[in-house]
Chain A
Amino acid sequence: MSEPSAPAARILVVDDEPQIRKFLEISLRSQGYAVAEAATGREGLERLATGGADLLILDLGLPDLDGIDVLVELRQWSTVPVIVLSVRASESEKVGALDSGANDYVTKPFGIQELMARVRGLLRSPGAAEDSPPVFDDGSLRIDLARRAVTLVGEPVRLTRKEFSLLALLVRHAGRVVTQQQLLRELWGPEHVEDAHYLRVVVGKLRQKLGDDAAAPRYLRTEPGVGYRFVAEAASPG
């Protein structure tokens, strides 16, 4: 990895476990980021308010405040991207965090590269993406959001309106998880946020048309109990 030429992105790590803070600090620093640390939710909020940050890594199991409370509070005055760290088997907690304003999550224990991929995904300039919808092209799949054209190995893929909307939404958040509720709300309307089976059907069809295997999807990855993620990078090793 090359050092970013612009001033280093500043990442604030909020976790009560010093050993976790330590390896995050060392790894993030080795990748050229500037790292600040906080051990409690209060301290984290203070540091963010006084020093600011370009990204927040927030543990949900803090001794003083619930991680969700921290999110709710900071979202009142900050739009900083947040990755939450959460233990496995508490999908509702993850969904709750995403609904409360977290941008992505990583399940503990995690490999450093999984976290780095999320960090890079969130630090990619979001402004440029919105001005001119990107064209995704990995040599095999090409998605042109502006022209609403999808081709697979040069062959055009015919998508229904819902299928395309779903794909476009995921591609715009490429690399990040989009919750089921968010997808349902945007595609079907707020009265259908409970109708997860709609989503399953459309995702199934979409995978079929993109030649994606549901058991080992290349593009559309299921985050069980949480939502879906469009994988933009080549599958990361490990």
Chain B
Amino acid sequence: MTNYANDGRASGEERRPGASRQWTAAGPATARDTGTRIREIAQATLVTAAATALAAALDAYLPVAAVALVYVCGVMLVAVATRRSTSIYAALLAFLSYNFFFTEPRGTLRIESAQDVVAVFAFLVVALLCGHLAWRLRTRVVELQSANRSARVLQELGAQLARAADAGQVFTVGCQLVAEALARPTIALARGDAGTEPRQRAAVPGDARLDESGRRAADWALQHARPAGYTTDASGDSAWWLLPLLVEESCFGAIAIRDADPGRPLSDEDRRLAEAMVQLVALAADRTRLAHTLERARVESESERLRTALLSSVSHDLRSPLAAVIGAATSLAAYGETMADGDRRELLASIRGEAERLDRYIQNLLDMTRLGSGPLRLERDWIGLDEILSAALQRLRKLFPALPVERELATDLPPLYVHAALVEQALFNVLENAAKFSPPAAAVAVRASVRDGEMTVEIGDRGPGIPEDERRRVFDLFYSAERGDRGARGTGLGLTIVRGMIGAHGGRVEALAGRGGRGTTIRITLPLTEPPAAEAAESEP
């Protein structure tokens, strides 16, 4: 603990002080290591013995100097397959065997001629050198292979993490790939909310669970934001190795790898790889967390904006008629007696008209809440468009008695299977809007036709029109609500409601340029349903 108090997290080696020596090649042998050593010594001895036998067989045909080459080959073989110390042992053994069996006098370690002494020691130097070179070569190849594999694994992990859309996927992908790369059971843990247990977010294999000591190690790792468990000072008795997921010193989870596997310890490279992978997972998780936070902030500010806009729209739409009602009523009360009859009647008509306007706004508001609270329950029935249209026009005529309306309905319109009241409200809102923007005496045109299994109803006015780039937006709640006070009188929520009601029937609403480029045409498209075989029912005897 003490030796990494001053930030010993620069490299993987330093993260496991005290423990690291156990598994680096230079460290003292563990029991597992001793077994390997004995095996390698035995291999070296066997190879040397074989080399001796081969040399003996060749002795009759070759000069003694050539026999030495057989031994050098043996040393190289050993060096390529084992560690460095074993290759030195093989070189020494070969030297002694050569000396014992092949230099005169044979069968002793003595050497007679000075020439042979030089040859024998030259042989020793060559054997050591070859052994060393062969060992270096092998080490380099192994390193390259391992680096190559790490690079591939990390690249794959990076690519998969980049596709992860949320923290859950990051945990799943990370856990999966770490487990595959190391061939170890792996568990991804997320730090719980304050004071709660860490939650297991992913595990490979699926039924992998932390044991008691593993949980202790996980708690420690999460709390201290440092590796814990197997081979570390914290809960070193655990079979699990816990690597914290860190972003800028804060720990939001951990990856647990089941390390204690007596037969196959994780190699240095594996451990470094694991650490690099965990780092990638941490970064990816942080990225999704940030994206999530941003998204939430955006949604919150958007709904806040919408609420403000709605509120200002509602207060404007409700207050304007109220101000007129109160003003007209107080005028009548204060000065009614001195007013001309016509003025009095006008004020009364104004009070009534504004009260009715209030009533319509309130109806719109109720419709909005109806549309806003989950899916609309449609009470569908068969009804002709002309019937719905007449009802809507009747209501319109009360408000705009002088408004000319041109109707142009195709003669063979099939019946609609719709919630009549809602479609009537939608038509009324569009008509009211058209009437409001129509210049005096200009007609509002209603056309209906059937095309491609859909009914199209177009309502056109000769008003100022809507700029092309705003046509899409007129049905937006934002659009109508934000214009609120500044918009044309009573823009209100009417068109937003139209879209909601038509949308509930699977239809659509569009704003188009008016015929001949003047005014606006609102096109409502409703899907047609095949009517039930009513005729067949009637033709029954």
Contacts and interface: CB of A to CB of B under 8 A. Distances in A.
Interface stretch (B40-48, B113-121, B332-340, B369-377): B332-340
B482 to A, nearest CB: 14
Contacts of A116: 334
Interface residues of A, number: 25
A16 B343 CA distance: 20
Given A111-B326, A113-B334, A17 B343 contact: no
A108 B330 CA distance: 13
A113 B347 CA distance: 16
Interface stretch (A19-27, A72-80, A154-162, A171-179): A19-27
B353 A112 contact: no
Contacts of B350: 19, 22-23
A113 B331 CA distance: 8
Contact of A17 (B315, B324, B326): B324
Interface string A109-147: 111110010000000000000000000000000000000
Contacts of A62: 486
Contact of B331 (A26, A61, A63, A108): A26
B110 interface: no
A4 interface: no
Given A19-B321, A19-B328, A110-B326, 20 more contacts: A1-B338, A16-B489, A17-B323, A17-B324, A19-B354, A20-B320, A22-B324, A22-B346, A23-B324, A24-B327, A26-B339, A26-B343, A26-B347, A27-B327, A27-B334, A63-B487, A87-B315, A109-B327, A111-B330, A111-B334
Contacts of B326: 109-111
Contacts of A112: 327, 330-331, 334-335
Interface string A5-46: 000000000001101101110110111000000000000000
A23 B328 contact: yes
Contacts of A26: 331, 339, 343, 346-347
A224 interface: no
Contact of A20 (B315, B324, B339, B485): B324
A7 B354 CA distance: 34
A23 B327 contact: yes
Contacts of A109: 319, 322-323, 325-327
B316 interface: yes
A51 interface: no
Contact of B488 (A23, A24, A63): A63
Contacts of A63: 486-489
Contacts of B325: 109
Interface in B200-239: none
Contacts of A19: 320-321, 324, 328, 350, 353-354
The residue among B316, B324, B338, B485 with the most chain A CB atoms within 10 A of its own CB is B324
The residue among A27, A31, A61 with the most chain B CB atoms within 10 A of its own CB is A27
Nearest to A111: B330
Chain B interface residue count: which class?
Answer: 20 to 34
6 contacts: A23-B327, A27-B327, A109-B326, A109-B327, A111-B327, A112-B330
Contacts, number: 80
Interface string B55-93: 000000000000000000000000000000000000000
Interface of B: 315-316, 319-328, 330-331, 334-335, 338-339, 343, 346-347, 350, 353-354, 485-489
Contacts of A111: 326-327, 330, 334
A24 to B, nearest CB: 7
Given A30-B339, A113-B330, A20 B323 contact: yes
A31 B343 CA distance: 13
The residue among B321, B328, B339, B353 with the most chain A CB atoms within 10 A of its own CB is B328
A63 B325 CA distance: 21
Contact of A30 (B319, B338, B353): B338
The residue among A20, A23, A238 with the most chain B CB atoms within 10 A of its own CB is A23
A31 B324 CA distance: 19
A17 B489 CA distance: 7
A108 B338 contact: no
Given A19-B354, A22-B346, A30 B321 contact: no
A23 B331 CA distance: 7
A23 B347 CA distance: 6
B331 A27 contact: yes
Contacts of A23: 324, 327-328, 331, 347, 350
Nearest to B342: A26
Contacts of A108: 319, 323
Contacts of B353: 19
A238 B332 CA distance: 14
Nearest to B483: A63
Nearest to A114: B330
A27 B315 contact: no
A117 to B, nearest CB: 11
A31 B335 contact: yes
A110 B327 contact: yes
A108 B325 CA distance: 11
Nearest to B354: A19
The residue among B316, B339, B486 with the most chain A CB atoms within 10 A of its own CB is B486
A16 B350 CA distance: 15
Nearest to A108: B323
A159 B411 CA distance: 88
Contacts of B487: 63
Contact of B330 (A29, A31, A87, A238): A238
Nearest to A21: B324
Interface string A195-236: 000000000000000000000000000000000000000000
Nearest to A60: B485
The residue among B324, B327, B334, B346 with the most chain A CB atoms within 10 A of its own CB is B327
A179 B327 CA distance: 26
Given A23-B350, A109-B323, A30 B335 contact: yes
A61 B323 contact: no
The residue among B320, B321, B325, B326 with the most chain A CB atoms within 10 A of its own CB is B320
A112 B351 CA distance: 14
A60 to B, nearest CB: 9
Contacts of A22: 324, 328, 346-347, 350
